[in-house]
Amino acid sequence: MGALMFAGIPIHGALKRLTILFAVLLLAACGDSQMAFVSGGDRDHSLSLVREQTYLGGPWQTTLIVAGFPQCQRRYALEGLAANELRMDAYRPEPGVFILNTGKRWYVTELQNCGFQAYKQPPPEPGELVGSFQVKGGELRYLDKASGKPVAGGASGVPLAVK
């Protein structure tokens, strides 16, 4: 009804403007999601590190995804990590097993059954350093030790670092 007025604006026009305002606010509130991953030797086995931000400027939640298809795929929340300065080194003591280190925290994961466990004490020999997950310039990437560069693809043809 065009005769009804709200602060000099027809109600129909005011509802449109209010709807547009809420849509803009919702879009501005969207956060970010970043992922980097490394293959465990083939397409079916991988480690992925995911950083998610619920809203822009909010805290980052970091998750490790261990995949050993077709047997398993599991997500493990990593609490208390410095998301803006995140660096997690990946060591491979044997095929299918990774030991991960970030600061004073050490973890072990294996790709066959998607197991994951935190170490209470650092391992005496974590194995060969194969690379690291790092946040550089606000982007999460996996840096291969051999090249020292972000990995954009691998022998399996699967991209190993994506945003």
Which alpha helices (H) appear in 69-146, and where do they start and end? none
- In terms of domains, do 50 and 104 share one? yes
- In terms of domains, do 59 and 114 share one? yes
84: phi then psi, degrees, rounded to nearest 5: -80, -20
What's the predicted TM-score (pTM) here? 0.71
Residue in the structure block whose two tokens are 């599991």: 74
Q: In terms of pLDDT, which residue wins out, 75 or 148?
A: 75
- In terms of domains, do 119 and 40 share one? yes
- In terms of domains, do 60 and 80 share one? yes
Q: What's the pLDDT at 10?
A: 61
pLDDT tens readout for residues 94-107: 999 999 999 999 99
Q: Would you say residue 160 has pLDDT above 60?
A: no
- Closest listed residue to residue 126, CA positions, set 95, 90, 88: 90
Q: How far apart are CA 104 and CA 122, in angstroms?
A: 8
Query: Could you tell me the residue range of the domain that residue 86 belongs to?
Result: 32-162
Domain count, the chain: 2
- In terms of domains, do 145 and 92 share one? yes
| Residue 162 one-letter amino acid | V
